[in-house]
Structure 1
Amino acid sequence: MIEFPPESRPKLIACNVPDMVPTVPVSVDLVVLTVRSQALCALVWRRDHPPYTGCWALSGGFIKLDEDLPAAAERVLAERAGLPGAPVHLEQLQTYGYPDRDPRERVVSVAYLGLAPDLPASTEAHMSWRAVAELTEMAFDHRRIMLDGIERARAKLEYTSLGAAFCPPEFTVADLRRVYEIVWGRPLDPRNFHRKVTKAEGFLLPTSHTTTRDGGRPAKLYRRGPAELLHPPMLRSLKE
């Protein structure tokens, strides 16, 4: 066995380890967006207890010890948001952990963005679809989270096929254009839009059906294709 001289041996440093290490609760909050009544809407509820009594809030809940984050988001969507089995595209948005976001205690929130077609009312009586333009004041930092979700949705429409996630299984190009106009908040040229989305590889697949619900000539019905990324992208910065 090799012996080290006393002066070269590592010194042990005593430290005090507390019996109870403080922990920080982790919650999941959902920004669920849809196009409803010609407006971009979010699923929210009005708080009936402090803090922020009477303010609109996103649906959320604390994660359980035996579930991962995606499972927690699905559970909150079903149990708290009242949308069990709904065709909602869920993806992780961002983590919010600054110390003063909840006046009661330190809470870290993992936000998820949900995109969905025009869904029926939630099965939970306290949940409500509200136009995002009306949600000027919200509980906690939920308005900031919602605005981050809206910007993510706007960006997603540029380079992915998720614009079709706001549409029913079969839709017209005009239906899809209205989604882009409502989410982006500006009008689009119908002819240019039609050319771009129909030429984007794998974005739209034609069906054998037509509809006259908008009046005029029968319009072709499409369904969402297999493409996840748009080639070429639908850039907001380009003039129509």
Structure 2
Amino acid sequence: MTETEKFETIRYTADVVALTPSGNVLLIERDWPPYEGAWALPGGHVDPGETSCAAAARELSEETGVQVAADDLRRIDVWDAPERDPRGRYVTIAYLAVVPADTQIVAGDDARRARWWPVADLPPLAFDHADIISATVGSTS
């Protein structure tokens, strides 16, 4: 490494845009900083030895009780803007899960609440999750 090379810690996460055919998206109310009390997509850190797709399925289950096989998730894109998270550099891969309209949800793990929201009437969202939802909805139409 030369004196001009600099490296930063990059954290690897996965988020899930769970949509119903009627256009509702599943959000959690965050129970921890940053953005404590704000609404966000289910998601979290990729564990050692885990793929981002497996992490997405696991986090969706842990935070909302929704069970989806990793093979049923569709990769949307990567979000890696340097300032997307106030805790430092985070890179996330977002996945789409289309689930039946009557899918039951239960807040768990790091979520105060979990709720279905109409895509056309979302609350203010944490991080860049509004951009992720917008890109996902645009890719499914």
Range of TM-score over shorter length: 0.7 to 0.9
Spell out, residue by residue over 1:164-206, the C-alpha distance to the aligned partner (whole angstroms, 9 max, x if none): xxxxxxxxxxxxxxxxxxxxxxxxxxxxxxxxxxxxxxxxxxx
Distance 1:32 1:101 in 2: 21
Q: Which amino acid aligns with 2:20?
A: T
Q: Which amino acid aligns with 2:12?
A: V
Q: Is it true that 1:130 corresponds to 2:113 in the alignment?
A: no
Q: How many residues align structurally?
A: 136
Distance 2:59 2:29 in 1: 17
1:94 is matched with: 77
From 141, 146, 149, the counterpart of 2:136 = 149
Report the TM-score when normalising by structure 2: 0.82
1:31 is matched with: 17
- Fraction of identical pairs, as percent: 35
CA contact (8 A) 1:34 1:115 kept: yes
Counterpart of 2:96 in 1: which secondary structure? strand
CA contact (8 A) 2:66 2:103 kept: no
Distance 1:145 1:108 in 2: 13
CA contact (8 A) 1:56 1:135 kept: no
CA contact (8 A) 1:121 1:129 kept: no
Bigger relative contact order (CA 8 A; separation at least 6): 2
Moved more, 132-141 or 25-34: 132-141
Distance 2:14 2:77 in 1: 10
Report 1:23-172 matches (<5 A). 23-35=9-21, 39-85=22-68, 89-124=72-107, 126-154=113-141
C-alpha RMSD of matched pairs (Å): 2.5
Q: Which has the higher helix share?
A: 1
Cα 1:76–1:48, aligned 2, differ >3 Å: closer, same or farther?
closer
Report the TM-score when normalising by structure 1: 0.51
Distance 1:114 1:47 in 2: 20
Spell out, residue by residue over 1:53-86, the C-alpha distance to the aligned partner (whole angstroms, 9 max, x if none): 3321000010011111222122122222311257
CA contact (8 A) 1:136 1:143 kept: no
CA contact (8 A) 1:45 1:57 kept: yes
Structure 2 residue runs without a partner (length 5+) = none
CA contact (8 A) 2:38 2:124 kept: yes
Q: Which amino acid aligns with 1:25?
A: R
CA contact (8 A) 1:89 1:116 kept: no
Deviation at 1:17, TM superposition (A): 9.3
Structure 1 residue runs without a partner (length 5+) = 1-13, 155-240
Deviation at 1:21, TM superposition (A): 4.9
Distance 1:83 1:46 in 2: 16
**Deviating runs (4+, > 4 A) in structure 1?**
none
Q: Which has the higher strand share?
A: 2
